[in-house]
Amino acid sequence: MILDSKEEVKVYLNQEGLIKGDDKALVEHLSGGVSCRVWKITVNENRWVIKQALEKLDVKADWFSDVERIHREHEVMKQLELVIPDSNIPKILHVDYVNHIYMMTCAEEGVQTWKDLLMNGMFNPDTAKSAADILSLIHSQSHKIDEQVKAGFSDQNYFVQLRIDPFHRFLINKYPELSVEINALIEELTEQKTCLVHGDFSPKNMLVEKSGHIVLIDYEVAHWGNPVFDLAYCLGHLMLKAWHLKKPAEILELISTFLANYKGQVSNLLPHLGLMLLARMDGKSPVNYIQDEKLKQIIRTTAINWLRGGDSGLNVFDAIKKQF
């Protein structure tokens, strides 16, 4: 059963006994990125979110991924209750392994993503600190996860389908002259497995409540792997917004705060960051808010320089600052 309309969602809720026939359920479609259908359900005082995986992702290029990945997401969320305060993670309320659906609690009304706040010109360093604190806990405390569960998370199939193939390997086809460098990064990400990695640690997946509290969502790419990916992914998004918004000083402060508060050690961050920047220009899922060709070329130049080892003598923040 594919939940493509509000009426189909209501039928599903009734079939599963999640609402009663006389309940007045308000169903609202939410942006789920490119990989899922996401619906907000309001019934009386209850607010829930239902999420269903798509086999073909909603991008121009042909990009497919196993719908079983949706179950990795809710399984990771349950495990993270051992790792970070559960108020930072939605609660799982219902799981459907047949239709590849799960339902979770919904964040408070009026919540905004960190991405939306940034795009609207709100640059709060406390949000960057909170993001770094959460990521630090995920990386440093995931050793508490049961060994058998950890072994399951070591399967990186979904990470390969949703990150390595559409980012790294897609770029090798476009930039064969970078194949040696990119293949080395792939090896680092797939062979150096030290902790739980979120895999989609982007401002769009951080819901900032009015109190400043962050609720972290979207765990379908989570896996046991190399923490450098999460830092490169997040920093890449922040850099792109600094270029796009023409607010380098404000976002450099966020980047500085994020790096200062991340309590972990990663290696070779700049080349991985370069890969992220190039992927968001020329991978299967380029960012939609950067259209200026001159700016795209500036970003490509920075990305390729870092992929080839440029600025390796600088610390990460100084290398980033140098670009603005």
Q: What is the mean pLDDT of residues 47-75?
A: 74
Of 60, 79, 106, which closes a domain?
A: 106
Q: What is the pLDDT of residue 69?
A: 82
Lowest-confidence region among 81-90, 125-134, 182-191, 269-278:
81-90
- CB of 293 closer than 8 Å to CB of 282: no
The larger pLDDT score, comparing residue 279 to residue 62, is at: 279
Give the residue numbers spanning the domain of 43: 1-106
Q: What is the pLDDT of residue 62?
A: 52
CA 277 to the chain's CA centroid:
15
Task: Give yes or no: residues 157 and 60 share one domain.
Answer: no
Q: Residue 67 belongs to a domain with what CATH number?
A: 3.30.200.20
Task: Give yes or no: residues 119 and 153 share one domain.
Answer: yes
In which band, very low, low, confident or very high, does the pLDDT at 98 lie, cut at 50, 70 and 90? Answer: confident
How many CB atoms are closer than 10 A to CB 164? 18
Of 73, 106, 139, which closes a domain?
A: 106
Count the domains in the chain. 2
In which band, very low, low, confident or very high, does the pLDDT at 34 lie, cut at 50, 70 and 90? Answer: low
DSSP bridge pairs for 303: none
Q: What is the SS3 assignment for 268? A: coil
Where does residue 56 rank: exposed (0-12), middle (13-18), buried (19+ CB within 10 A)? exposed
Q: What is the mean pLDDT of residues 266-278?
A: 98
Q: Reply yes or no on whether the pLDDT at 59 is more than 50.
A: no
pLDDT, one tens digit per residue, over 170-227 is 999 999 999 999 999 999 999 999 999 999 999 999 999 988 889 999 998 999 999 9
pLDDT, one tens digit per residue, over 110-129 is 899 999 999 999 999 999 99
Q: What is the mean pLDDT of residues 19-39?
A: 80
- CB of 297 closer than 8 Å to CB of 305: no
Of 75, 91, 106, which closes a domain?
A: 106
For the stretch 69-72, contacts whose Cβ atoms lie closer than 8 Å and that sit 24 or more positions apart, written own/partner, are: 69/158, 69/161, 69/162, 69/220, 69/221, 70/36, 70/100, 70/101, 70/102, 70/220, 71/95, 71/97, 71/100, 71/102, 72/153, 72/158, 72/219, 72/220, 72/222, 72/223
